[in-house]
Amino acid sequence: MSIIVQKFGGTSVASVTHIEHVARLIMAARNAGDQVAVVVSAMGDQTDRLDSLANEVDFNKPASRREVDVLLSTGEQITIAVLAMTLMKFGCAARSFTGAQAGILTNSSHTRARIQQIDTGALQNSIDDGEVPVIAGFQGVDEFGNITTFGRGGSDTTAVALAVVLKARECQIFTDVKGVYTTDPRVVDSARCMDQVTFEEMLELASLGSNVLHSRAVAFAGKYQMPLRVLSTFDDTPGTLITIEDESTMEQPIISGIAFTRDEAKLTVLGVKDVPGVAWRILGPISEADIEVDMIVQNVAADNTTDFTFTVSRDDYVQAMDILQQTTGITGIGAREVTGDNRIAKLSIVGVGMKMHAGVASRMFEVLAEKAINIQMISTSEIKISVVIAEEYIELAARALHAAFDLAEDSLTGK
Ligand code: ASP
Ligand code: MG
């Protein structure tokens, strides 16, 4: 018999009634012939509440991360017990497992722990005994027996990791949307739920603010080529299958999706000397402050000075600006001025089809030009073209590009 791992997110297990519905879905999958292992999140927004409880203790100082893990992990522990009880009520053998009981060993990096090893013995026994193991998402245990958690949204990663070690045929992520959309349906009415997308594309879409999957989970699934399906708990449709690139995905449109995030800011150091070491002197202090830099552009002027521009997440804007103002003054890189803008947004078009088609970038720029949208920065990879534009144009740009690249229509089925 083949195994599937099913993961249910917070909105899917928000109440006992929701959990009863989830139990029925699990039992239906068993009746269809699969053995099922289940991973769950905390009920509703329980993790947010636990998090604010931790903050309430001391507003001035962050709480001990070890204790935060002990606290946050209780959310999932509630769900596993309630779901196991519910399955039993319906006559389905079940057993709950905390991360530690499921054999999930992590490093000791509290609140952002990484899985090191999974001892599947206990889970395998439970499955062999005909039970449904119900495992707490987003938690594990370190070598000293401390409870650890993986960072917000980490239950997806638990599910994928278990699917890999249990050699599941598929890992199903149940959520409150129908699947992965070509772009944000709240912004573009004609956004379409995709049947299939590659790991590579999903990784770009996930890291760009299409919030349906944790990007670490996508990377993990891609590495082990574990087919991942995103589907709705509340709607009986097949959802979106995330899988490897094959003949069927080759036929897909050139562009699969459009992702955008408003949460960006850019900083520019004007008129620095065009000499070795400048980029490092500007960005070194930024990275020392643990601020993540995304796009970087440097343009050289005729007078041997350059303007150096980079983007950071909007939350880091003020701190990054402070750091720049201090460092440009003291390191002698000869900066004329530091400017910035935190009303920018990043939009990316993503598609493996770009590998085989030329002219995608120029088509994108043409569409933006037609709407008179100024492009401030550009970066590209093999399967992605990203632009930075003024935040106020982001919705207009998304709609225009969605239409121009025919994303509303499924090119294979013509639906
Ligand atoms: N409950 C955790 C969170 O809300 C983990 C998860 O749901 O993936 O972040
Ligand atoms: Mg989630």
What single DSSP character describes residue 357?
-
Strand partners, 39: 7, 135
Mean pLDDT for the chain overall: 92
Question: In the prediction, which pLDDT does 238 show?
Answer: 95
Q: Are 185 and 191 in contact (CB under 8 A)?
A: yes
Strand partners, 265: 312
Q: Tell me the residue length of the chain.
A: 415
Put the strands of the sheet holding 228-232 in their side by side order. 94-97, 132-136, 35-40, 3-8, 170-175, 228-232, 240-243, 196-198
Which amino acids bring their CB within 6 angstroms of ligand 1?
9-10, 41-42, 47, 75, 137-138, 152-155
What single DSSP character describes residue 213?
S
Q: Nearest bound ligand to CA 78?
A: 1
pLDDT in tens, 215-273: 899 999 999 999 999 999 999 999 999 998 776 655 567 899 999 999 899 999 998 88
C-alpha 206/C-alpha 212 separation (Å) is: 7
| Closest CA relative to residue 294, chosen from 269, 323, 265 | 265
Angle of CA points 103, 106, 110, to nearest 5°: 130
Determine the atom of ligand 1 nearest the C-alpha atom of 76. 1
Helices (H), 147-277: 155-165, 199-207, 215-224, 247-250
Q: Are 235 and 24 in contact (CB under 8 A)?
A: no
Which residue, judged by its Cα, is nearest atom 7 of ligand 1? 41
| Closest CA relative to residue 296, chosen from 272, 320, 266, 273 | 266
* Tens of pLDDT, residue by residue, the chain (415 residues): 899 999 999 999 999 999 999 999 999 999 999 999 999 999 999 999 999 999 999 888 889 999 999 999 999 999 999 999 999 999 999 999 999 999 999 999 999 999 999 999 999 999 999 999 999 999 999 999 999 999 999 999 999 999 999 999 999 999 999 999 999 999 999 999 999 999 999 998 887 766 788 889 999 999 999 999 999 999 999 999 999 877 665 556 789 999 999 989 999 999 888 888 888 989 999 999 989 999 999 887 778 888 999 999 999 999 999 999 888 775 667 788 899 999 999 999 999 988 888 899 999 999 999 999 999 999 999 999 999 999 999 999 999 999 999 999 765 554 4
CA distances from 81 to 39, 86, 128, 136, 307 (A): 12, 9, 20, 9, 58
Structure tokens at 310: 């980079």
Angle of CA points 18, 103, 42, to nearest 5°: 25
Residue whose token pair is 């599941």? 168
Q: Nearest bound ligand to CA 76?
A: 1
Angle of CA points 39, 45, 47, to nearest 5°: 70
Question: What's the whole-model pTM score?
Answer: 0.87
Determine the atom of ligand 1 nearest the C-alpha atom of 151. 9
Pocket probe mutation, ligand 1, options 52, 76, 148, 155, max atoms within 8 Å of Cβ: 155
Q: Are 57 and 68 in contact (CB under 8 A)?
A: no
C-alpha 6/C-alpha 171 separation (Å) is: 6
Question: In the prediction, which pLDDT does 215 show?
Answer: 87
C-alpha 337/C-alpha 328 separation (Å) is: 9
Determine the atom of ligand 1 nearest the C-alpha atom of 158. 8
Which residue, judged by its Cα, is nearest atom 9 of ligand 1? 152
C-alpha 384/C-alpha 398 separation (Å) is: 15
Instruction: Using DSSP, state whether 393 is helix, strand or coil.
Output: helix
**Residue 152 Cα to ligand 2 middle (Å):** 8
Q: Are 261 and 210 in contact (CB under 8 A)?
A: no
